[in-house]
Amino acid sequence: GAGVSQSPSNKVTEKGKDVELRCDPISGHTALYWYRQSLGQGLEFLIYFQGNSAPDKSGLPSDRFSAERTGGSVSTLTIQRTQQEDSAVYLCASSSGQATDTQYFGPGTRLTVL
Amino acid sequence: KQEVTQIPAALSVPEGENLVLNCSFTDSAIYNLQWFRQDPGKGLTSLLLIQSSQREQTSGRLNASLDKSSGRSTLYIAASQPGDSATYLCAVRPADSWGKLQFGAGTQVVVTP
């Protein structure tokens, strides 16, 4: 029924703290994607999950970033020891898993690191 | 490496005029190209998806064309309205890595009443 949802919508944290961002994809979608949108960098790919395959982590900017997808549904993006340059909007998308299909995006989580 | 460029970066038109937004990409090996709309503080809304084998897609006042060989796509919005004011992004889906959309920087559109 509903579209992609993300929580929290806003997160303010202090430098050095860990944060977790959550994504609930559209029911039945096997593929899930994380992107980051920051001023001056545009929209950049972070990671994607497709079914039970190993995730493509090639876009993660450092080993402080990790993501998991439990039960093939909900995903959590974790940023450890946050830095000010991590401040951005983190967008999640899902799709049916075919190369030809549309990616549907959530509203994003705005992360501010003080 | 795939590069996606959108020109112009910003556009202001009076209500009723047609909008023409351009997107170019350097590597023609793509599965498809997608146009999105983003309102301030919001996520992305998919507008049109053109498969690599297609030349155009239409939805209401929107029409998008794709010339894969020359690496270009154009989004036309007919009879613009103030509600069309938003940032428009194009994204290509590379054939060698279909999970990753590669985005242009966007065109910010303002339609004045």
Asked if the peptide bond before residue A107 counts as cis, ω within 30 degrees of 0, the response is: no
pLDDT tens across A69-112, in order?
A: 988 799 999 999 999 999 999 999 999 988 778 899 999 999 99
CB A21 within 8 A of CB A76: yes
Phi-psi map region of B57: left, alpha, beta (phi>0 left; psi -120 to 50 alpha): beta
Whether B93 has its CB under 8 Å from any CB of chain A: the answer is: yes
Whether B59 has its CB under 8 Å from any CB of chain A: the answer is: no
Contact across the interface for A99 and B43, Cβ inside 8 Å: no
List the pLDDT tens digit at each of the 113 positions of chain B.
899 999 999 999 999 999 999 999 999 999 999 999 999 888 899 999 999 999 999 999 999 999 999 999 999 999 999 999 999 999 999 888 878 899 999 999 999 99
Spell out a b/e string for B4-26, using b for 16 or more CB atoms within 10 Å of the CB, else e.
bebeeeebebeeeeebebebbbe
Q: How confident is the model at residue A1 (pLDDT cuts 50, 70, 90)?
A: low
Whether B98 has its CB under 8 Å from any CB of chain A: the answer is: yes
Average pLDDT of chain A to the nearest whole number: 93
pLDDT tens across A5-58, in order?
A: 999 999 999 999 999 999 999 999 999 999 999 987 789 999 999 988 889 999
pLDDT tens across B86-100, in order?
A: 999 999 998 888 788
Q: Compute the nearest-CA separation of A104 from chain B (Å).
A: 7
